[in-house]
Amino acid sequence: MNQEEITNKPSNNGKMKEFVAHSKNNFGEIHLLKDHLKNTAVRAHSFATDEDLTNLFYLAGILHDVGKYQDGFQNYIEYGGQKTFHAGIGAYIAKILFNKLIPLQFAIQGHHAGLPDNENRRSNNENYAQSEELAQELITRLYNDLAEIKNKEADLPQLYSKNLLLTECLTRLLFSSLTDADWLDTERHFLPEKSQARLESEIDYDELINQLEKIFTLLPIDREINRLRTEARLDVINKFSKPPGFFSIQLPTGLGKTLTSIHWALLHAKENKLKRIIIVLPYINIIDQTATILKEIFGEEIILEHHSGIMEGDDEYSNETFDSTQLSPKQLACENWQAPIIITTAVQFFESLFSNRPSKCRKNHNIANSVVIFDEVQTLPKELVEPTIIMLKNISQVSKTSFLFCTATMPAFGKREGFDGIEETISLIGNPMKYFDVTKRVEYKLIKKLKPVGLDIVAEQLLKEKTSYLAVVNTKSVAKKLFVKIKEGRTHDEYFHLSTAMCAHHRKKIIKKIIAALSAKPKRKIAVVSTQLVEAGVDFDFPCVYRAIAPLDSVIQAAGRCNRNGKMKKGKVVLFDLTDHPMPDKTYRACAEFAKGIIKDDPQILHHAESFERYYEQVIEFFVDPDRYKITKEREMFNFKTVNNQYHIIDKQTTLLFAAFYSNESKELFEEVTKFFDDSGFISKELYRKIQQFGVQVYQDFLKKYGNQIEQHKSGLKIWLGKYDQDFGITPEDVETVF
């Protein structure tokens, strides 16, 4: 049978054969391939960030499933049996038709299995070169269904032909857009109700700005700290009309960076016609606090919380996978960030940018035309800082996106010899030193001039304190030992411990109790021992803070929990160095030792706004390789899978343990999970999100050492059967979980 006979083979009723993309939905309707290709193309076209790229995005939609014109795939749809793969032949057809459009080949080949390394793309094309006759046959079938494709042309703008990293970034944007467009159209076929439930609202900037400005009129103005907050906010919003780019707000802790940054972002987004605001926080435990504040101001519906650890599948959509995810509009928006204001974590945001997985990358195209606010940006791992900054620069060039860094300790992100940083970051604070000079709210003291001392010496000092205090140490084992020692002294009214050996639900409950105790009348004396999880964004205001020596940013951030609201003339921050104390890793220890030397020579340096930037620059120069895993080099070689495997905000692999017996609520959830799994054979995304609140992330050596206290549930979840202490959480000693 020749090509024309194959292509134009009539069906039994005498009509031309109609090719199918997906099987029948619950209404008995098939999904015609020509309709799916056209609809996906139109959606992908709408995601293009530049007029010159619209044809490229359209072609991606048209060609992504051209491999489904194979007879084998059509037989699979109709009769079942062995599946015929289609992405590889589709990528090869893209090469035949548009040889120079390398991003097109990558996006099509990866739209189910993930973006490959370049060598795999090339070998894939070579393998399919043996199927030239099949490829031409499928092209003819495509032309019969969608004749307009014959006249489509596309070329990469000159910007991309000269810069490998920009082309790689464009490939990621195209991949994200194609994946989302494909999944949305497939969803529309299988679950139209779910499709219609998705949020499509745009930001009403005027309304949100008015709501926020009403809040500002209600804020107290009775103390100097409140006057400074207002002055800083007005300083910042004077620069809202700048075009998209890189910006910074460097202010002392407690000067209202959260609301000030949102105010600027709303004005800036309205001025530049940007679509959404994305707030990136360093830790999960801060999300609830920030989300609660914003929901109280703007309302529940427009705020989307999306953190790391959400179960994200990469399988091709089918009737089964669609039926398994009956989610609310806000939960659906987590899949592709189609929401006005998004609050997420650094792990979720950055690892998605460098991922090659369809489900993880699906939302990335919605970062374009947005304002991205990074809160406490100094927490970004220093070994990843250069490739991360380069990626942000690429995104800024490829799409219309503004990035705002907010912190009291601004890292040295600027371009310089040996560091490919940002060419220009516009400071939204005209003179940061003015605010730091006025808000010297603490006095620094050193135990034994930072000579190493035993934990007993620190405990003795704490037992003498007459006010509430917060003591921050570097590991959970030390935190637990110190807590036991000070609690035995019974010098305070209440004692609290915080670490991520406790599940998120537990930590949030304790944080709320601490905040309530600090503001209680009559005053109560409380003692808190914590790891560094409290140093970024947790709104504590203690009269006294103790901090074990640590990298300079950790020391300054811990001090930000002291006299935060300026209620005292001076709070007290006590620094100490422990004998033979463990540190989280070698980089942390090197930075801590360097900071110790600086502080010993001149503790007043901790008051100076520019001191941290100098420290950061020296740390990067002398102690840390800012691209330890050579990620930028791998990006230049278009090795997407390798980059995905190399880029991890949390370096060591961790596993979630479900603390099912932590509370009655967690026990009830465990029963719900078991019943749901027994009935359906899987765990829904909604249930998995609930599980996150009762989960503790642990390292692999923890699993090996305490495996006899861990049970694998039939659903695949790992259940902690050992003791869960209401002070400490999961209690085994000697092995550190993630802090």
* Per-residue pLDDT tens over the stretch 246-266: 999 999 887 889 899 999 999
Q: Residue 115: what pLDDT?
A: 97
Going by pLDDT thresholds of 50, 70 and 90, the confidence category of residue 415 is very high
**ω into residue 522 within 30 of 0, thus cis?**
yes
Contact 718, 680 (CB under 8 A): no
Reported as a pLDDT band with limits 50, 70 and 90, residue 338 is low
Show the 3-state SS of 512-557: HHHHHHHCCCCCCCEEEEECHHHCCCCCCCECEEEEECCCHHHHHH
Q: What pLDDT is stored for residue 7 in this prediction?
A: 37
> Where residue 14 falls among pLDDT bands split at 50, 70, 90?
very low
- Predicted local confidence at residue 225, as pLDDT: 80
pLDDT at 334: 54
> How many angstroms separate the CA atoms of 249 and 91, rounded?
45
pTM, entire model: 0.88
pLDDT digits (tens, 9 = 90+) for 182-223: 999 998 998 887 777 665 667 899 999 999 999 998 888 777
Residue 400 has pLDDT above 50, yes or no: yes
- What is the pLDDT averaged over residues 55-67? 96
165 contact partners, CB below 8 Å, separation of at least 6: 390, 394, 632, 635, 636
pLDDT over 70, % of the chain: 91
Structure tokens at 119: 């060598």
pLDDT of 331: 52
* pLDDT category of residue 80 using cuts at 50, 70 and 90: confident
Identify the three-state secondary structure at position 162.
Answer: coil
Region 447-475: what's the mean pLDDT?
Answer: 96
Q: Tell me what the mean pLDDT of segment 324-329 comes to.
A: 46
pLDDT over threshold 80, residue 228: yes
- Cβ contact 178:91 at 8 Å: no
Cβ atoms < 10 Å from Cβ of 438: 16
pLDDT above 90: residue 573 = yes
pLDDT, the chain, mean = 88
- What pLDDT does 738 receive? 43
Q: What are the E-state strand segments in 256-298?
A: 276-281
- Asked if pLDDT for residue 507 goes beyond 80, the answer is yes
pLDDT of residue 201: 64
Q: How confident is the model at residue 305 (pLDDT cuts 50, 70, 90)?
A: confident
pLDDT at 88 over 80: yes
Per-residue pLDDT, averaged over 461-490, amounts to 96
189 and 31 Cβ atoms separated by less than 8 Å: yes
pLDDT one-digit tens code per residue, 375-396:
988 889 999 999 999 999 999 9
- Which residue type sits at 589? R
Q: Examine the pLDDT at 315 and tell me if it is beyond 60.
A: no
Residue 707 pLDDT > 50? yes
What pLDDT, on a 0 to 100 scale, did the predictor assign at position 650?
Answer: 81
pLDDT in tens, 109-145: 999 999 999 999 999 989 998 889 999 999 999 999 9
pLDDT for 310 beyond 70: no
Query: Residue 117's pLDDT is what?
Result: 97
Residues 6+ apart with CB under 8 A from 610: 433
